[in-house]
Amino acid sequence: MDLRFTAEETAFRQEVRAFFEKALPADIRRKTERGQRISKEEMLRWVRILHDRGWATPAWPREWGGTGWDAVRQYIFKEELHLAPAPEPISFNMNMIGPTLIAFGSEAQKRHFLPRIARMDYWFCQGFSEPGAGSDLASLRTTATRDGDHYVIDGQKLWTSTAHHADWCFVLARTDPGARKQQGISYLLMDMKSPGVTVRPIVTIDGHHETNEMFLDKVRVPAGNLVGEENKGWDYAKYLLGHERSGIARVGISKMRLRRARELAAQVMQGGRPLIEDERLRERMAELEVELKALEITQMRLIAEIGRRDDGRPDPKSSILKMKGSQLQQASAELLLEVAGYNALEFDPAFVSGSPAPVEGDDWALALAPNHFWARHVSIVGGSNEIQRNILAKTVLGL
């Protein structure tokens, strides 16, 4: 297999890189590089810059406002986005609800929602996990009862990321309590301004408000907001999660962190010489670089397989990318923390959340410890690594 990029693909990479250098606002680039959180307003500003270029939804088909790029160009685009570094557009919009509606939504839903999702006039969140139904999502207890032209939703959702920003939520709810747990679940689009929706913040160990718990008390959702068929929601959720995992390795993020670690190690002095001269650190960096290259090759092989198959279905082997990609994201965050050493002990939640530096002097290490903590979650989201092992054992190994 020839894993070299073609001349056309290399030219495309240069085009993308030049666009990011010119179009990415300097304040957003700086915050992303330092590991500060991007505000809702900054995210909307950046997504609309991408949208004006026609690049906000690279994986969507042209007929619905996408780029029509093949999988290789999508990979190049995402890698350059991470290396810039630029914020990644909200996955709930671009990689989850958008592709799901394109595959299973009604024509009316597509015409109404897709343009607004692409431009983020509608910010979506994901109403899947519940207390007692996280990794075992099929055990969810939230119900949706048909009442005339509406469904009435009752229940609780947990770890609902960005629900405090969201305009809409795609919700899994049980519509047939008598069916087996993987069956009898439906997929509904819920307006977050609906009466009965209560969002309460969950502040995580890094001091940041990203996730929430959400209470649903007799929330009325029009029947026209049912995606696909009633009681088929589990199939749509599997499709969505498969697409989420296909890009979840995020090799570019780990590459960017490794590059940043080298830059910082050249500045940090230890024993009268730059830390970058330490042999053990250099061995650690080389080991991480080799593992990243192996992951990148694995992802390119999977992209090539999907291209040959060309049936539009996610490949279950993408679970390999999810598992190893999350491990390397955590390893690269840990490497940055070790390079900073005592400099990383200083921590202010306001700085991490995007406020200006609260102290005088260099602020390069202020967000490294919180980002190290935050990296722990990547082996859980999108299906925990333990669940990914089960998927591989069943669907790939046939165990």
Helix (H, G, I), strand (E, B) or coil at 156: strand
- Distance in Å from the first CA to the final CA of the chain: 29
d(CA 26, CA 32): 10
d(CA 55, CA 49): 9
The DSSP code sequence of 162-199 is TTTT-SEEEEEEES-TTS-TTSSEEEEEEETTSTTEEE
d(CA 88, CA 251): 13
d(CA 72, CA 315): 15
d(CA 36, CA 30): 9
Helix (H, G, I), strand (E, B) or coil at 217: strand
d(CA 117, CA 139): 29
Long-range interactions of 48-55: CB distance < 8 A, separation 24+: 48/119, 48/120, 49/23, 49/24, 49/25, 50/89, 51/118, 51/119, 51/120, 53/19, 53/23, 55/19
Return all residues near 369 (Cβ < 8 A) that are at least 6 apart.
206, 337, 344, 345, 347
C-alpha distance from residue 274 to each of 51, 202, 207, 288, 346 (Å)? 43, 40, 32, 20, 21
- The answer to whether 281 touches 275, Cβ cutoff 8 Å, is yes
- The answer to whether 220 touches 151, Cβ cutoff 8 Å, is yes
d(CA 103, CA 229): 12
Helix (H, G, I), strand (E, B) or coil at 210: strand
DSSP secondary structure code for residue 58 in this structure: T
d(CA 13, CA 345): 38
- The answer to whether 142 touches 130, Cβ cutoff 8 Å, is yes
Catalytic pick among 63, 244, 277, 386: 244
- Residue 244 annotated in active site: yes
* Residues acting as catalytic residues: 244
